[in-house]
Structures are given as structure tokens and as C-alpha cells.
Homo-oligomer: A and B are copies of this chain.
Amino acid sequence: MKFIEKLESAQKKNNSLLCVGLDPSLERLPHVCRRQPQPFLAFNRSLIDATADLVCAYKPQIAHYAAAGAEAELQATIRYINESYPDIPVILDAKRGDIGSTAEKYAIEAFERYQADAVTVNPYLGGDSLAPFLKYREKGVVILCRTSNPGGGDLQSLEVEGEALYLRLARLAASSWNGNRNVLLVVGATWPAELARVRKVVGDMPLLVPGIGAQGGDLAAVLAAGLDRRGAGLLINSSRGIIYAGQEEAFGPGARQAALELRAEINRLRN
């Protein structure tokens, strides 16, 4: 199945636009996980078991694993999702980008080594740097467009030929780069006006929206600006707001409760 079909199928099955970011930091883990030989994996497995019927995707952020030398735990986390919850797609958040011959290696990293269903990529190096990812027709390629951070506009909002760079990027993504219908874009929840402009440019292309919760994005504004014509087309990501919602032994039920509430709030605002 192609990525976007798998994603939309999970969104329907779980009635959810919620994507949960699996971004563990050792110092924030419950003690019950820290005592395990593979603390990130122990934490993630419990979080996944607690939320797999509530989400449309999981998004592990690779830097959290790389900083700790925990590649094996990332690999085992994705394998666990693929084997135990094969309907739920996994987006590897890696924001890779390099020239073609090296981008091929990064595509192997994401799609073959880690067996992710999709990967986030950085477009600064242009179309030929994205091609090695895009040629995996059954995989999703999630391109940074307008990021959620305060300095996101330093480059992305510069005006090029009458429009902002991020909008030019959205046009390129929708026209030149989407021949395999496997492109998605990242647009931060902190910029709902920009999100609305991107939506106009890209039709029903799915948009990954980080920045709810810890970063302060406004959920109602995001949905008003970002839903496609079918009232879908969004992945609303929450990481810290879900995974650290419960304390110590109750971290799994706490995460489930937070995911239930956020899914419900999203669905209330969709309808």
C-alpha cells in the first residue's frame, strides 16, 4: 500500500488526525523505564500499546536516539510498531538533505535500515536532492515548508518574486516533485495564516503540523486553516504533551488520557 493510502486508512480506522511524536530524553523518562536495559524501547512500547487505537501515525525524532547512541532502540521501536500495529504508519523525523549520491544513503537509512513508512526531508538543496527519496513510490516524503520555530521565517518568509519562499516551495512540491503522489509538507501550528496559504496551493496534499502544546500552537486556528475539502488532510503532531502527560508508573495511562483528549478536541473542532 502507498504511504498516503496507509495514512488515510489509519485516520479513518482510528477516527484520528493525531500523530504522536516518540522523542524520549533519558532525563525525563519514568524510573521504571530508566532501570531497563533499553529504556527508550521500554518507554516507547508502553506508549504505543497505550495509544495505538487513537493515532493515525507515530513520528520518532531520530536526534533523540542519535544523541544517546540508541539507534538499536529506534530500530526496535519501529519494528515493534510494524509487527504489532501494522496499520499505523511510522514517519521517521530526520530532516535529511544532501546531494544525490549521499541522499541515496539517507534514503536507505530511513526506508531500508529503519523500515519507516515516511521520512521528513529538508528542501534547501533542491529537487535533485529529494529525488532519491521520492523514487520510493510506496514511501512518504515529508518536506519542510514553514517550520514552527520562531526563526522559521528567517529564510522561509523571504519574498521571492512576489511571494514568500515557503509558498514557492509549496508550489514546487505540488507541481514538480509530486509525480509519485507521495509528497507531504511540514507547516507549523504556530503559523495558521501561512498554513491557510499553503493549503490553497497544494489542494488535498496531507500536511504534517507540529507545534501544538509545548510550542503554543492554537488548535482551533490550525484546523480552520489547514483542513482539506474533505475535512481531513492533516496530521496534528504532539510529542511532549502526550508522552510526558503521566507521572512515573502511570505514564502509559497518562499518555492514553492525553491522546484521548487531544483526539476528541481535534474531532470536535473538525465537525
Contacts and interface: CB of A to CB of B under 8 A. Distances in A.
A67 interface: yes
A152 B128 CA distance: 8
Given A69-B113, A95-B122, 16 more contacts: A63-B103, A66-B106, A66-B113, A67-B109, A95-B96, A95-B98, A100-B149, A126-B151, A127-B154, A128-B151, A129-B147, A155-B165, A155-B168, A158-B160, A158-B165, A165-B165
A78 to B, nearest CB: 13
A124 B102 contact: no
A113 B69 CA distance: 7
* Total copies of this chain within the assembly: 2
A197 interface: no
A150 interface: yes
A1 to B, nearest CB: 25
A231 interface: no
A38 B155 CA distance: 41
A227 to B, nearest CB: 24
A125 B99 contact: no
A139 to B, nearest CB: 15
A158 B106 CA distance: 26
Interface majority SS on A: helix, strand, loop or mixed?
Answer: helix
Interface residues of A, number: 51
25 contacts: A61-B98, A63-B102, A66-B106, A67-B105, A67-B112, A69-B71, A69-B113, A95-B98, A97-B122, A100-B149, A124-B144, A124-B147, A125-B147, A126-B151, A126-B153, A126-B154, A127-B151, A127-B154, A128-B151, A129-B149, A129-B151, A158-B165, A158-B168, A160-B160, A165-B165
A82 interface: no
A47 interface: no
Interface of A: 23, 25, 61, 63-64, 66-67, 69, 71, 95-100, 102-103, 105-106, 108-109, 112-113, 122-129, 144, 147-156, 158-161, 165, 168-169, 172, 215
Nearest to A164: B160
Contact of A124 (B25, B98, B124): B124
Contacts of A155: 123-124, 126, 165, 168-169
Contacts of A124: 122-124, 144, 147, 155-156
Contacts of A144: 124-125
B154 A165 contact: no
A97 B108 CA distance: 19
Given A105-B64, A105-B66, A151 B125 contact: yes
Contacts of A147: 99, 124-126, 129
